[in-house]
Amino acid sequence: MGTRERRQREVAEREQFFLQAARVLIREEGLLNLQMSRVAERCEYAVGTLYQHFTSKEDLVLALAAEGSVEHAALFDRVQRWQASSRDRMFAIGVCSSLFVRRNPDHFRISQYALCDVVWRAASASRREAFLEVSNPIGAMVTGIVEDGVREGALALRGLSPGEFTVGLWALCMGTHNLVHTEGILDQMRLNDPYRLLCRHINGLLNGYSWKPWVDPADDAALDALFDRICHEVFDDLRCAD
Amino acid sequence: MGTRERRQREVAEREQFFLQAARVLIREEGLLNLQMSRVAERCEYAVGTLYQHFTSKEDLVLALAAEGSVEHAALFDRVQRWQASSRDRMFAIGVCSSLFVRRNPDHFRISQYALCDVVWRAASASRREAFLEVSNPIGAMVTGIVEDGVREGALALRGLSPGEFTVGLWALCMGTHNLVHTEGILDQMRLNDPYRLLCRHINGLLNGYSWKPWVDPADDAALDALFDRICHEVFDDLRCAD
DNA sequence: ATCCAGTTCTGAACCAAGTTCAGATAGCAA
DNA sequence: TTGCTATCTGAACTTGGTTCAGAACTGGAT
């Protein structure tokens, strides 16, 4: 009885197809102008078929965000597996997050929108669940690095749980991306490179918690060197050193 | 010719009235269910009149966000004027930000939504400008405290501009609020009090940049004491120590 | 007091786009 | 071939944001 399975596979493929088309439409005309009928049309399906996959437009947007999270997690996974000190890997998480957001500017906008209360609630419960499912590893991997740091003796949490520590890093990254993407907010303070800045702040935070070895946050050369090393050793194929 | 001015005042008052009604409707039924016609109806005006004030629904939402920012800035202003060391004031910014978000849970949701690319662009240019106008002081005040720290000799920026330093703090705060408000994301790591955690991370970051005097991030008693002191000396009337 | 020109208000009508669902079609087993 | 089911279709429906032609009001001039 392979018929049913083929069918399932076809349906799954079609879902990818819809999502891909939505992505293209968003790139071409912006998230603001995304229309369900256009997505269906571009895939040469009727809107009704589209609605068999996504219960609403918001549901589709959240599905896009989830796809992005999968990619995001995949990049974090490289960092996690990287053979380097816990502190360097923690730093690499920041680099990775910047890299990902920069290479995928739409993803940030999409997930920022999708995670707004309004949109989140308008998506289906199962879609929300699926989103959390694929997003959990992102936090978990960072927490894993924190735990490695503790195990190595490079970091003393002093009452903080690994998860709580993670939240600090995560907030710093997410907040930076948010500020960068909010048109106008940062314009008055002219930042040459917000992601470089994020790297510095991460070092600041890690230093503040005495994660060994200490790094001089003002040592631009060292920062660049580590950045380049990460690009080379972890993200070589992405040619990220632009 | 006072007629024209009275009229202007009346129009401005009506705008407040509309915004107030929108706020109530959002509290009652959520941002998701906000309807322009309901706002007009509740104010006993025709929808057309409502549209004389706001070019679109998104425009109204951004106006709400701007109102919130004014309040936010007013709280920051207290911190700025507080007679205390630069480091304590910097810390108080974090407390203030948490306090504000906690006292005003809708504001965060509203501005998170309003600042999404989709909504931001759907608002009128003048509204966007007005939003930035009232939001600028928020960053500027924090930057002012950073500059005070440098002036006092408590902080060496070592190549960072005051604005760049500010962005770190800001990102940490904004990111934390974001994580806290994103349902489900933080559930797996059980945080008892995310805002207390934010305070700790701020201390971590300030320590990391050697902002004097050094604070032991694990000293819960000291953290509580400072928190209480800030509530008492800066936000006494808000009865924030709940 | 009456009239007039300009301004503001009104809400029914308009319209776009998300969503639905009754019927058409295709796939499969008997 | 026939019937049964699952799936697809897209015109019709629905909702709610937006508009705009006409009503109502305002304040000053006659």
User: Omega before B213 cis (within 30°)?
Assistant: yes
Predicted pLDDT of residue A8: 83
Residue B242's pLDDT band, with cuts at 50, 70 and 90, is low
Which of B132, B205, B211, B224 is the best mutation test for A, with the most CBs of A within 10 A?
A: B205
3-state helix, strand, coil in chain A (%, to 5): 75, 0, 25
Q: Which helix (H) or strand (E) holds A70?
A: helix A57-81
Q: Which helix (H) or strand (E) holds B29?
A: helix B2-29
Nearest by CB to A31, from B117, B132, B176: name it: B117
Q: What is the mean pLDDT of chain B?
A: 94
pLDDT tens by residue, A75-96:
999 999 999 999 999 999 999 9
pLDDT tens by residue, A10-29:
899 999 999 999 999 999 99
Residue A66's pLDDT band, with cuts at 50, 70 and 90, is very high
Res. A182: pLDDT tops 90: no
Nearest nucleotide to A51, CA against C1' atoms = C19
Gap from A195 CA to chain B (nearest CA, Å): 11
**Chain A positions in Cβ-Cβ contact with residue B200 (cut-off 8 Å):** 160, 164, 168
d(CA B128, CA B122): 10
Nearest by CB to A208, from B160, B174, B204: name it: B204
**Chain A positions in Cβ-Cβ contact with residue B185 (cut-off 8 Å):** 132, 135, 139
Residue with nearest Cα to nucleotide D20 C1'? B48
Nearest by CB to B174, from A178, A184, A208: name it: A178
C1’ D18 / CA A197, Å: 44
C1’ C17 / CA B236, Å: 50
Gap from B58 CA to chain A (nearest CA, Å): 12
- Predicted structure pTM score: 0.95
Nearest to B45 by CA among B9, B75, B20: B20
Question: Is nucleic acid strand C under 7 Å from A47's C-beta?
Answer: yes
pLDDT tens by residue, A103-141:
999 999 999 999 999 999 999 999 999 999 999 999 999
Residue B187's pLDDT band, with cuts at 50, 70 and 90, is confident
Residue B2's pLDDT band, with cuts at 50, 70 and 90, is low
Q: Which residue type is seen at A60?
A: L
Nearest nucleotide to B2, CA against C1' atoms = D27
pLDDT tens by residue, A143-181:
999 999 999 999 999 999 999 999 999 999 999 999 999
Predicted pLDDT of residue A1: 46
Predicted pLDDT of residue A242: 56
Tokens 């631009």 identify what position? A220
Strand D neighbours (CB under 7 Å) are: A 7, 11, 14, 45-49, 51-52; B 1, 3, 7, 33-37, 47-48, 51, 55-58, 122
Q: Which helix (H) or strand (E) holds B242?
A: none
With CB atoms and an 8 Å threshold, state whether A184 touches B121. Answer: no
∠ Cα B173 B179 B183 (to 5°): 145
| Nearby residues of A71 by Cβ (< 8 Å), 6 or more positions away | A100, A104, A107
